[in-house]
Amino acid sequence: MGLQGVELMMSIEDEFGIAFTDREAERMVTVVDLHAAVLEKLRAGQRIVDDRRCVSSHLFYRLRRALMEASGVPRAEIRLETRLDNLLPRKGRKACWSGLRDSLALELPELSWPAWMLWSIVSFAFAVALGVVIFILPAVETLADRIFSSIAALLGTALVWLFIFGGLAWVFNPFALCIPRRYRTVREAVLALERRHFGKLQPAGAGMDSELVWNKLVQLITAELQVKLEAVKPEAKVWDDLCR
């Protein structure tokens, strides 16, 4: 098959959210064979909700493609053990994370602050809130007034804390650049997405008709193999005629 053929198959898997074994790839001789194999995988893919292994594979290919689109990372650098910190540099990470969410078309948690910053904001907001409430509460003498004042102090502290914390969160939002804890590596991200969206996933090519799949394949073949459009005919041999 050669390196070009491997790259082509990986692009097809990424595009449609499917996977081929080496034996399956060897049986695809012509472009029309490849087209038929993709269609068959897409039809079989309608049943992925019953197979967690298929879901994990589907999510990996989908995440890998989304990472490539969002950050321009080469495919070869995206492996299961790769840390997302290494794939998404801090500079421009918010834009990349937003692009990743759009490419995946799945819900992702927000980027977070470093732990020290989060606890600093929480502690500062609480201290200021408590100080404000204590300062504005009048001096009381009776037991009933003390009980009422204590309840009022707790509620007041909570309300003021929420207000201050919300303001600080807005001010320090640009510094929230940490990858969520359960998404540190590609493997962890796949598992987290699987837990979050299992039963709601479909292959990237789900719903495509035969003509649309053909057009997508032609685009991939011309782009990956650097061949002219007129060379991609149904009877053309993928590995012998088109791969050079």
What is residue 81's predicted lDDT score, i.e. its pLDDT? Answer: 92
Round to whole Å and give the CA distance between 113 and 172.
9
| Domain finish residue from 146, 175, 204 | 175
Query: Residue 122 carries which side chain, given as an amino acid letter?
Result: V
Place of tokens 């927000």: 110
Question: 1 vs 13, which has greater pLDDT?
Answer: 13
- The reply to whether 223 and 210 lie within a common domain is yes
- Domain count for the chain: 2
pLDDT digit string, tens, across residues 82-134: 999 899 888 888 888 998 888 887 888 888 877 666 677 677 777 776 666 56
pLDDT digit string, tens, across residues 104-117: 878 888 888 776 66
Q: Both tokens of residue 18?
A: 């499917």
- The reply to whether 165 and 210 lie within a common domain is no
- The reply to whether 205 and 102 lie within a common domain is yes
- The reply to whether 163 and 192 lie within a common domain is no
Residue 47 has pLDDT above 50, yes or no: no
Question: 3 vs 182, which has greater pLDDT?
Answer: 182
- The reply to whether 8 and 100 lie within a common domain is yes
- The reply to whether 55 and 135 lie within a common domain is no
- The reply to whether 91 and 137 lie within a common domain is no
- The reply to whether 98 and 194 lie within a common domain is yes
Using an 8 Å Cβ cutoff, are 96 and 70 in contact? yes
| Domain finish residue from 126, 144, 175 | 175
Residue 35 has pLDDT above 90, yes or no: yes
For 105, residues 6+ apart whose C-beta sits below 8 A from its C-beta are none
What is residue 14's predicted lDDT score, i.e. its pLDDT? Answer: 77
201 is in which domain, residue-wise? Answer: 2-110+183-242
What is residue 83's predicted lDDT score, i.e. its pLDDT? Answer: 93
Round to whole Å and give the CA distance between 203 and 189.
18
- The reply to whether 9 and 55 lie within a common domain is yes
Q: Both tokens of residue 3?
A: 């390196």
Which among 19, 81, 76 is positioned nearest to 51, based on CA atoms? Answer: 19
Q: Which of 62-66, 112-116, 199-203 has the largest mean confidence?
A: 62-66
> Residue 214 — very low, low, confident or very high, per pLDDT cuts 50/70/90?
very high
In a 10 Å sphere around its CB, with 0-12 CB exposed, 13-18 middle and 19+ buried, how is residue 67 labelled? buried
Q: Both tokens of residue 42?
A: 């897409």
pLDDT digit string, tens, across residues 159-199: 766 776 677 666 666 677 889 888 999 999 988 988 887 65
Of 49-53, 171-175, 190-194, 236-240, which gets the smallest average pLDDT?
Answer: 49-53
- The reply to whether 203 and 228 lie within a common domain is yes
- The reply to whether 148 and 207 lie within a common domain is no
Q: Count of residues for the chain? A: 244
- The reply to whether 94 and 28 lie within a common domain is yes
pTM above 0.85, yes or no: no
| Domain finish residue from 153, 175, 197 | 175
